[in-house]
Amino acid sequence: MIKIKMESFGIYLPKKIVTTKDILASCRHPPRWNFERVTGIQKRRVAVNEHSADLGIKAAKRALKMSRYKAEELDFIICTSISKQKKNKFQLEPATAMEIRTALGAENAKIFDITNACAGMWAGIWVLQGFLKSGLAKCGMIVSGEYNTVITETAIQEIKNSFDKQIASLTIGDAGAAVIFDISKEEHVGLHYLKLITGARYSNCCYAKPSALGNGIAMYTKAKKIHEAFLKNYPPYLKEALDSTGWSVDDINHVIPHQTAVRAIKKGIRIFEERYKIKSPLVTCIVVNRYGNTSTTSHFIALHDLLLQGQLKNHQNVVLLTGASGMVIGTATLTLDDLPTRYLANSGDIL
Amino acid sequence: MKKRCRIESIGISMGHGKLFKLGSIAHAVKAGKQCLKSSIYSTKDINILINTGVYRDQHIMEPSIASLIQNKLNMNIDFHSDHTTFSFDLLNGSCGMLNAIELITSQMACNTIQRGMVVSSEANRDRHSSSKFPYLPSGVAVLLDIASFDRIGFGNFVFHSHDQHAKLYQTAIDYIKKNGELIFEISNEIENYFLRYTNATVNEVLEKNNLTREEIDFVVPQQISADFLQRLPTVINISKDKIVNFSSELPNTLSTSTFLALYYFMQKHQPAAGNNILLLSFGSGITIAGTIYQV
């Protein structure tokens, strides 16, 4: 069976670090409960004088640096950012992917944007998988630049009480990520399984739109409802992903969930372990405490962190879990090639 | 044999509601319902739903508009049911529907999906009266399945982007204004730029589909303007009689335009089996997109 593989990836994290304490101190009406303890988020990166496309472009250039492909060899560039901000404007046309194509000099790439909330990069990978497997493309890039700080800034102004629908806006951070996929030549390497489902019954649980008060972009989240719906519905899909791949839990080296909040991630994994009576705990990657929720890019920020910590090794098996407003649940199983070695050899400027 | 994707059904939505203006989601839902009504399939059969509309109710940035449309169409909205749907938005200005159909074609070719629906709609729900929204409100939905016969359906797609002219066509939301305000920066020369590059796109569409100009029976272009459609035949060297021109009754509707024109053309002219239709869209980027649809 033809598989696609992660040929290269790159991330970009802005240098400026803002702590949760700093953010709460800026709020007119900070939550009265212990926000940092409940979310586990201590800090995040914040872009200064950089916007969504800039973050994506910087990540894309790093991905290309490690790649065997040159920019002009990319057949597709799919931009999957939720945020498309540039100087107080949210860009509708042209597609943000066009700006990225221009910056990279990827003159032969077909471009378009996909938006699917935090599942955007995985939706893009699903789409690219079709182009690669059907022979329409040899390689392609999925890229996101998330300048989420504007949402936090609105929440700082507008949160009125401890259970305000904009509270979740204080959990997010900025980042860029880009990944290049091509066809795997080794049967045991690559993306074994990828499934995304939209349970649209929950589509009204999270909205981002311009604020009615003129403070920027506001995100309104029914956090409890979306969290409960995900925990209730995701375990069978994860089990299905493992069964379809032919993996037992012992075959998994790392589980990388979407990075929302430390407690939420731990609870989600515990529910899965209890439901399927798993004795040895799953090795779960949690980086949200240091980077916040970087929306579409969060899995790749986690991958990057695992690599720099030396925990992710060549040919290891990774399970990826996605949850996004819409509501989307996604599961993927992936075996790496020698990407960890190549990544560390090329990560001098990131280290 | 390469699997080809064909249009099983088209639905449209035009104009205003009886009492209130319809928003972009309402137009997409209305078109989607009409599309399903004239289809042999029902909502449970749809594996993938893609929305390609550019302008959104309340300028919503999250969740995907497709998920809101999926919910209103009651299309496999629950997890763990026998049938599920994956939905998302695809944005590429006027060319988005062709991108989405190429995407669905590729997924069908590798057996990931059997049926898909592409919806697109445009409506001005900007609360600021200064917004000069230039498009007639509309919606269109296309239900796609795998063609039973070789050569029927969509052929190969071509997308030519000329990013050196990207600044000629820029639209955005000023989110510092309360509820956001649409900003349009579209050059008066944009039609000339589209026409300058169209012939190269048409040549490649013909080449990739092994067709000559003589084998094209009809051309269904985006209905940019009456003047544009008058000039198009000379530019692409195809007889004026073959160009579908509804510009007197159907102004430009952006992402929905090419398939609205195709819908009216199919209704009024009923092309014969085997006819080759050249579809053309002209979008920001600037991008010119084309493909062949064999009836």
CA-based end-to-end distance of chain A: 37
CB contact under 8 A, A102 and B163: yes
Nearest-Cα distance to chain A for B59, in Å, is 6
* Encoded tokens for A90: 């949210």
A186-197 pLDDT, tens digit each: 999 999 999 999
Burial class (CB in 10 A: 0-12, 13-18, 19+), B194: buried
In B105-180, the DSSP E strands lie at 115-122, 138-146, 153-161, 169-174
Averaged pLDDT for residues A29-40: 93
pLDDT of residue B15: 78
Averaged pLDDT for residues A175-189: 96
Mean of per-residue pLDDT scores for chain A: 95
CB contact under 8 A, B68 and A200: yes
Q: CA triplet B101, A95, B89: central angle to 5 degrees?
A: 45
Averaged pLDDT for residues A115-122: 97
SS3 A118: strand
pLDDT of residue A308: 94
Residue burial A170-184, b: 16+ Cβ < 10 Å; e: rest: bbbbbbbbbbbbbbb
Q: What is the ipTM of this complex?
A: 0.96
pLDDT of residue B128: 80
In B93-137, the DSSP E strands lie at 115-122
Measured CA to CA, the distance from residue A313 to residue A161 in angstroms comes to: 45
Surface of B (158-197) touching A: CB under 8 A: 159, 161, 163, 166, 169-180, 183
Q: Name every chain B residue with its beta carbon within 8 A of the beta carbon of A113.
A: 90-92
Q: Name every chain B residue with its beta carbon within 8 A of the beta carbon of A84.
A: 61
Q: What is the pTM of this model?
A: 0.97
Question: Please, are residues A152 and A219 in contact by the beta-carbon 8 Å criterion?
Answer: no
Measured CA to CA, the distance from residue A53 to residue B170 in angstroms comes to: 15
Question: Considering CB atoms only, which of B77, B89, B163 is closest to A115?
Answer: B89
CB contact under 8 A, B79 and A111: no
The pairs formed by B15-20 with CB atoms below 8 angstroms and a separation of 24 or more are B15/B136, B15/B137, B15/B138, B16/B137
Which residues lie below 8 Å from residue A142, measured CB to CB, with a gap of 6+?
A78, A80, A121, A124, A125, A128, A178, A179, A181
pLDDT of residue B18: 67
Question: What share of chain A in percent tops pLDDT 70?
Answer: 99
pLDDT of residue A271: 93
Nearest CA in chain A to B87: A198
Where residue A351 falls among pLDDT bands split at 50, 70, 90?
very low
Measured CA to CA, the distance from residue B117 to residue B105 in angstroms comes to: 11
Please report, as a single letter, which amino acid is at residue A36. Answer: E
Averaged pLDDT for residues A278-287: 88
Residue in the block written with tokens 């407003």: A325
Nearest to B95 by CA among B284, B292, B295: B284
pLDDT over 70 at A329, yes or no:
yes
- What DSSP element (H or E) covers A236? helix A223-245
| Residue B154 region by backbone torsions, left for phi larger than 0, else alpha for psi between -120 and 50, else beta | beta
Where residue A148 falls among pLDDT bands split at 50, 70, 90?
very high
Question: Please, are residues A8 and A180 in contact by the beta-carbon 8 Å criterion?
Answer: yes
Nearest-Cα distance to chain A for B263, in Å, is 25
pLDDT of residue A349: 60
CB contact under 8 A, B80 and A117: no
Interface test with B, best of A3, A83, A112 (most B CBs within 10 A): A112
Q: Name every chain A residue with its beta carbon within 8 A of the beta carbon of B284.
A: 93-95, 98
Query: Digits of tens for pLDDT over chain B (295 positions)?
Result: 567 899 999 999 997 766 678 899 999 999 999 999 999 999 999 999 999 999 999 999 999 999 999 999 999 999 988 899 999 999 999 999 999 999 999 999 999 999 999 999 999 878 786 677 889 999 999 999 999 887 899 999 999 999 999 999 999 999 999 999 999 999 999 999 999 999 999 999 999 999 999 999 999 999 999 999 999 999 999 999 999 999 999 999 999 999 999 999 999 988 999 999 999 999 999 999 999 999 9
pLDDT over 80 at A348, yes or no:
no
